[in-house]
């Protein structure tokens, strides 16, 4: 489905993404983890042709993403609020997105009834523009607009951030459902529990490189926690010493 070849992105002399080789097969569900600045969002943006890589390319269905528009037909993505047209009501936005995929209003309405629980009565028929919704509710609109498109490839950047615990569980089930239907999913998150629960394959990024590529099993969570915890304690210790010296 997706092939990444020799992909490199440099911002003012610092390499932020450097992936020599990555292959994502159809139907795989990938979790992307890594600390802030590891290059997750930059990678997403390059896969969506939103920023230009310094070198290398991303192929979607054997065709380069850059400069082409074929991938837009089967790729749905939500990275941030910048993907929403914020002066529309959620309904108008859904109709617009549905319309791009040749869905009538009735079809869109029909699909939306399936998400009534997910919306928890806070999105539809509330007489609000998207810009007046809270960040969590905006995320919900973004995620549902992705699913509405019946994509073959679904890309979500930190979808679990900003939304309440109940919705997080519902979202996990929705992603699992999509996976069952054969949708290739690519999700990034800081929540290790969720990501290991949802995804079959975890990519761990550090300073732009994929340093671990593991199939999820019972010990994956422990393995990831160990990786992230080491950095944590080390910096804590440093901080303590610092404080004592100051006093």
Partner 1 sequence: MISTFFKHELKAFWRSKNTGKNIAVRIVMAVLILYLLFNVVVIGYFLDAILKKVFPHDPLTFSFCGIILFYFLAELFSRLQLQELPTLRVQPYLQLPIKRNTIVGYLALTALFSVFNLWPIVLFFPFIFKVILHDAGAVTALAFAVSIFGLSVLNNYLALYIKRKANLNGWIFLIAAAVLILIGMADLEWHLISIRNISYLFFGNLIKQPVLALMPAALGAGMYYLNFIYLKQNLYLEELSAKKAKHKSSTEYPILNYFGETGDLVANEIKLILRNKRPKSALLMSLFFLCYGLFFYPNPAFGKMEGFKIFVGMFMTGIFIINYGQFMYSWQASHFDGLMVSKISFANFLRGKYLLFTGVSTVAFLLTIPYIYFGWHVVLVHFIMYLWNLGVTVNIVLYFANRNAKRIDLSKGASFNWEGVGATQLILSFLLLLPPFIIYLPFKYLGLADIGLAVIAAIGVVGIFTRDFWIKFLEADFHKRKFTVLDGFRNK
Contact set with partner 1 (CB under 8 A): 48-52, 67, 69, 72-73, 75, 77, 79-89, 91-92, 96-97, 99-101, 127-129, 131-132, 149
Q: CB of 219: closest distance to partner 1 in angstroms?
A: 36
Nearer to partner 1, 64 or 168 (CB): 64
Backbone angles phi, psi at 229, to 5 degrees: -70, -35
Other C-beta atoms lying within 10 Å of the C-beta of residue 60: 22
Q: CB of 229: closest distance to partner 1 in angstroms?
A: 33
Nearer to partner 1, 153 or 210 (CB): 153
Alpha carbons 64 and 44: distance in angstroms, whole number:
15
Nearer to partner 1, 5 or 101 (CB): 101
Nearer to partner 1, 147 or 224 (CB): 147
Q: CB of 88: closest distance to partner 1 in angstroms?
A: 6
DSSP class of residue 84?
S
Q: CB of 174: closest distance to partner 1 in angstroms?
A: 20
Nearer to partner 1, 130 or 204 (CB): 130
Q: CB of 57: closest distance to partner 1 in angstroms?
A: 14
Helix (H, G, I), strand (E, B) or coil at 225: helix
Q: CB of 105: closest distance to partner 1 in angstroms?
A: 9
Nearer to partner 1, 80 or 223 (CB): 80
Q: 14-33 b/e with 16+ CB inside 10 Å = b?
A: eebbbbeebebeeebbbbbb
DSSP class of residue 48?
T
Sorted by sequence, the CB contacts under 8 Å of residue 238 that are 6+ apart come out as none
Q: CB of 5: closest distance to partner 1 in angstroms?
A: 19
Q: Side-chain half-sphere of 60: how many Cα atoms within 13 Å?
A: 22
Between 135-148 and 90-100, two packed helices, what is the crossing angle to 10 degrees? 20
Helix (H, G, I), strand (E, B) or coil at 156: strand
Of the candidates 19, 18, 28, the residue with the CA atom closest to the CA atom of residue 155: 28
DSSP class of residue 26?
T
Nearer to partner 1, 48 or 195 (CB): 48
């Amino acid at each position: 489905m997706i092939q990444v070849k020799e992909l490199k992105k440099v911002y003012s002399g610092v390499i932020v993404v450097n992936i020599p080789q990555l292959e994502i097969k159809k139907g795989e569900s990938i979790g992307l983890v890594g600390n802030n600045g590891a290059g997750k969002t930059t990678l997403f943006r390059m896969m969506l042709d939103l920023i230009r890589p310094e070198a290398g390319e991303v192929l979607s269905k054997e065709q380069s993403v850059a400069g082409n528009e074929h991938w837009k037909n089967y790729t749905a993505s939500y990275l941030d609020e910048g993907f929403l047209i914020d002066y529309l009501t959620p309904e108008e936005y859904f109709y617009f997105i549905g319309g791009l995929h040749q869905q009538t209003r009735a079809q869109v309405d029909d699909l939306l009834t399936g998400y009534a629980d997910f919306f928890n009565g806070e999105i539809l028929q509330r007489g609000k523009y998207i810009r007046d919704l809270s960040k969590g509710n905006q995320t919900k609109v973004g995620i549902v607009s992705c699913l509405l498109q019946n994509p073959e490839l679904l890309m979500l950047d930190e979808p679990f951030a900003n939304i309440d615990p109940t919705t997080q569980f519902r979202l996990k089930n929705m992603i699992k459902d999509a996976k069952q239907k054969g949708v290739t999913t690519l999700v990034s998150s800081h929540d290790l529990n969720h990501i290991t629960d949802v995804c079959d394959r975890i990519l761990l990024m550090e300073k732009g490189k994929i340093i671990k590529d593991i199939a999820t099993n019972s010990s994956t969570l422990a393995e990831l926690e160990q990786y992230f915890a080491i950095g944590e304690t080390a910096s804590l210790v440093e901080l303590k010493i610092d404080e004592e010296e100051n006093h």
